[in-house]
Structure 1
Amino acid sequence: MPPRVANEALAAACDLMLAIDSGGVIRDIRLGADDLAGLGIETWLGRPFGETVGAESRGKAEELLAGTSDPGRWRQVNHPIAGGEVPIRYLMLDGTGDERLAIGRDMRAAAALQQRLLRAQQAMERDSLRLRQLEARYRLLFESASEAILVVDTASRRITDANPAARRLAGGGGLDGQPFVTIVHADDRDAATALLGAVAAAEQRHPGRIRLADGEAALMSATLFRQDRAAQLLVRLRPLAAEIEGPRDRPLSEVLERMPDAFVLTDRDLAVLACNAAFLDLVAEARDADVTGAPLPRWLGRPGIDVGLLEAQLREHGAVSNFSTIVRPRHGADLDVEVSAVKSADADGIRHGFTIRPVQPLAARGAGIAQPRSVEQLTELVGRVSLKEIVRESTDLIERLCIEAALAYTDDNRASAAEILGLSRQSLYSKLHRHGLGNLGDGE
């Protein structure tokens, strides 16, 4: 077969054929696929083959030209074009004389398929991670639930899973694989089986009363769900003893939690043991863990004065009513409050309970304004705090009232207010900050 005919046959059988001379320069280009037309491949004519490939493919191109690759081995290189790259696999053949023929196959379809497979794999990995996270959350809820919960197979009526509360209710033994009726009293097994059958048949059933194997009465309810193409029953058991005795024996903390006034329980050293939500709001803390174990004087009373008086009253009388003091929240201005407290001694030691009630609306805290004591409040401090402290309170009251009057007289012009008060602007700003007056973030 003449060489020209052979070359044309090769060009027709492949997507691309390049004739490359001994210097690595492309001398002829034949396209066997219309998809490659219009990509600028004809501009490669007269250029070195190594210059038509991307930087990461230069090594492969040199191996192809040098003939160091295994005979018959295809090598893929990427050719940069406008808007992207064209991946082509080449097989190098000997031509006539010093000429070599590079037979190429367009790999864009295969590359697109690989990208689709990669995206599909990544999507599956994301879905798998999401499902694992959901399973972990479900398992955490299932294991930590205080209510006895069992998963029962509808066909065999055997227990496939049970949480710790269910195992405790059944005496602590293993339940997986056991017939559900084994945890039910012999006289009530028919009723329990009937309830499960009714729920499995998609009938609406109210919780039924049964006796457990040890004779303890319980409320039983079930919900139908599907898992792994099989129907399962989620069975809940609630001992009737807990239903009956719960309201009578409910811990006092549940009632105190609903109180509108702040309540806090401390040990003999005034370290916080427990508190309600109102106390957290009052001291501007987010969680119980932020206050538990911390000293109550961190928030209550003027340092070194009020708490000492409170402790003395509790030691002497065992209780204190309507004690006027302040709360120093984590954020915001101090707040005037009234405190009632009681001391309790039991086997666990001495404890103190405090109820704290603001004597001004909580909305005043949001405005960042701490109201000064009135003259009557100041005189009530006689005998409870030192004269030095009363004088300091009086000075603060007069200073604040004068600053407020100056700001009102000058229509909140701080420069003019400082002038009529005989203060520098810097000194006025310092006092405004100390008393929590004005919006210091605003300009004049």
Structure 2
Amino acid sequence: MKARLTSRAIAARILAAVYNGESLVRALPKGLEPLSLENRPLVQELVYGTLREWPRLEGIALQLLRKPPRAKDADVLCLILTGIHQLSGLNVPSHAAVGETVEAAKSLGKSWAAGLINGCLRNYQRQKGALEDQLTESQSNALPDWLWQAICKQWPDQASEIAGASREHPPMTLRVNLQRGSRADYVSTLQNADIPVAINPHIATAITLQTPRPVSSIPGFLEGWSSVQDASAQLAAQFLQPNNDESIFDACAAPGGKTCHVLECAPKAKVLAADISDQRLESLQENSTRLNLPLDVKVVDATQASVTLGPRQFDAILADVPCSATGVIRRNPDIKITRKAADIATFHQQQRDILEGLWPLVKPGGRLLYVTCSLLEAENDNVIEAAQSQLPQCEVMPLAGGTLRFNTRFGLQTLPTLNNGDGLYFSLLKKVVTPTCA
């Protein structure tokens, strides 16, 4: 009779799928599907926690192993890593961390690995200090070496804090829908429901919950009083400055947080939201329906937008482009495994292609806000530098800096911090009106 998979075994399978190239956004729901709701939190904690610490945990494990497990035994390596994570980062009694992780190997049908896992975890307990001392600087900071080196080069004074933020649970921040009421009134509503919050002093719509919770338990959420959106992401609408009499195109709109915020700021604006597939647009349509925000939705490849949309032009375009997501690693910790240094050049070219595809759609005198959730210059200033030299009538406009915002050569960067927003880059481009001869 086949043994029933334990929570730790399921976590190891999900991690092994990510290790072998599957994205967490696909592997996690598939792995959690057979579990009851009450058994899911432990699996999610083990998966997310292990991924956030992966480079450090792997650096320790490889010291304990004579040789890395074969590819088909990636789940064994993942069990060892989850075991070390439980011993070093969770409040799990050591006997349970070791014993249950060993049992998980048996439930996976790999009883042969039980002794190996037990030996590794016991040796970690005995040699923890020495093992940690042998880690490289990037491993100690739980970042892949290529990314740690890039961050140290670009953000030398903030590198440790950036790395620290990537290892933490992300804050749960709400965007208050000011069309429904003031932030002060909504904060009072939450406090009356015994939900403590922190008010963001720099962003007028942002409040952060002291403890994350299901959205269904947040007063007014289902009625459209608020939405979940990171504080830094709420800057996009602020920088775009949409007006009610404008036509606006959100070219890479899914999942729709920024699109809906634009409409909350300018509810009479004519907004077209697009992305590359119907599947990606589903969540956007769900959000706009919940918030009762009218908008047009269309499948458009942003690199071909000027062809697809023909002669149509817009007063403002929002381009929240695909990127390495190095500024949101705490939300997408599989990046620590799946993202490679060579990917950055591919993203850079894709981003330039998107700007080239969108620029003809900007009206003379109009503007385009370029946004990434990357910390890397190659995807940020370097893309805008190329755009400024290649796109006709393109001028970079200044953006206001401030607390936790850093002005760069061509834009503005927010950095991920422990209790604040994610790492996003913004650059505002204006299409200059060409003077006509009298």
Query: Larger helix proportion, structure 1 or 2?
Result: 2
User: How high is the TM-score relative to the length of structure 2?
Assistant: 0.19
Query: Larger strand proportion, structure 1 or 2?
Result: 1
